[in-house]
Amino acid sequence: MQLYSHIFSLRVAHPSLDPELVTQVLGLKPTRSWRAGKRRQTPKGAPLQGVYSEGCWSSNPFEYSWRESTDTSIEDALEELVKYLEPHTAFLKGIGNDGGRVTIWVSSQSTRNYAVELSPNFLGRLAALGASIVYDVYPGP
């Protein structure tokens, strides 16, 4: 058994993104969202210099906190998310085709090495969504 913990976020960005539309179409609650031109701020709301150059929407898709690999593997959690997103393929693919990005951000941590295997079939389904994966690894506690 490979031991690690992980958490996901789904991120959508586009120069003219309407975050409310993403919320309506996907049926997921955003953890952060903004439109292009809004004044920048930290996640806690402290003001930053400048304005956002593009709209952004980010969600913890199923509102999970950090999950242990003994409960759910990264592969199984990704499968769950992609299966949820597949009915919205046209919407998500359209964002990418129009200059935006759809990203599944996977953060994980462990005190030892581990491997994640994504099958060609799964990668094809991910590509059909027009989504990319960012895999962010932290050394364990």
**CB 98, CB 14: distance < 8 Å:** yes
Domains held by the chain: number? 1
Which pLDDT score is estimated for 4? Answer: 92
pTM attached to this predicted model:
0.90
Domain that holds residue 83: 5-139
Pairing of strands 39-41, 47-51: antiparallel
Contacts of 31 (CB under 8 A, 6+ apart): 9, 58, 59, 60
User: For 7-56, what is each residue's pLDDT tens digit?
Assistant: 999 999 999 999 999 999 999 999 999 999 999 999 898 999 999 999 99
